[in-house]
């Protein structure tokens, strides 16, 4: 995910370039806008990324898709016209344009993908998970354990029914 911006750095502030992202892990599809700013290039990225996770219920590893969207300034280290080094950016965590005028968005994509990763991904929305009593994967087979209902609204309803019947 490398873009050569030596041409863009020679263009006036505000010049925009559009690119389509090629599929390259973790990116499935996406687009990038590069905009010339006074001290570098603003990168605007929209992408679908493929994530790997373990199901929060049954613990099975599986892949899923997330959307990421970010804007980051990549700061110029070299004046493209004179070849002179520029003073380093004040923020030492800033993304940098390489000395040969390339922007690599791989690290930014990785960071934003990590942030977008689901806290509790599910392999499917109705994954029944694992029986807390015997450890049986309930999507493969049922078990005979007497499991307490997890949803208290249903528990209350069951209690009401019992009261009505009794
Ligand atoms: Zn699952
Ligand atoms: Zn069980």
Residue 19, C-beta contacts closer than 8 angstroms, at least 6 positions apart: 3, 31, 32, 33, 34
141 in the same domain as 120:
no
Per-residue pLDDT of the chain in tens (166 residues, 90 and over written 9):
999 999 999 999 999 999 999 999 899 999 999 999 999 999 999 999 999 999 999 999 999 999 999 999 999 999 998 989 998 888 888 999 999 999 999 999 999 999 999 889 999 999 999 998 899 999 888 898 886 655 556 556 656 666 665 5
Shortest-distance ligand to the CA of residue 126: 1
* Residue 64 contacts residue 113 (beta carbons within 8 Å): no
Instruction: Using the mean position of ligand 2's atoms as its centre, give its distance from the Cα of residue 114 in Å.
Output: 34
Instruction: Using the mean position of ligand 2's atoms as its centre, give its distance from the Cα of residue 50 in Å.
Output: 33
Instruction: Using the mean position of ligand 1's atoms as its centre, give its distance from the Cα of residue 109 in Å.
Output: 27
Give the chain's domain count: 2
133 in the same domain as 158:
yes
132 in the same domain as 120:
no
pTM of this prediction?
0.76
Helix (H) or strand (E) holding 113: helix 106-116
53 in the same domain as 120:
yes
21 in the same domain as 51:
yes
């Amino acid at each position: 995910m490398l873009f050569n911006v030596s041409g863009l750095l020679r263009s006036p502030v505000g010049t925009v370039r559009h690119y389509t992202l090629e599929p390259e892990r973790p990116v499935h599809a996406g687009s990038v806008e590069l905009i010339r700013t006074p001290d570098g290039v603003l990168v605007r990225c929209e992408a679908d990324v493929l994530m790997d996770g373990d199901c929060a219920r049954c613990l099975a590893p599986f892949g899923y898709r997330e959307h990421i969207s970010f804007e980051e300034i990549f700061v110029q280290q070299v004046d493209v016209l004179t070849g002179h080094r520029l003073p380093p950016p004040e923020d030492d965590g800033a993304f940098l344009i390489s000395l040969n005028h390339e922007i690599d968005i791989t690290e930014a994509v990785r960071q934003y993908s990590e942030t977008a990763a689901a806290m509790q991904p599910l392999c499917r929305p109705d994954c029944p998970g694992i029986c807390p009593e015997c450890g049986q994967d309930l999507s493969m087979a049922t078990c005979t354990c007497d499991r307490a209902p997890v949803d208290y609204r249903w528990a209350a309803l069951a209690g009401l029914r019992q009261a009505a019947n009794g």
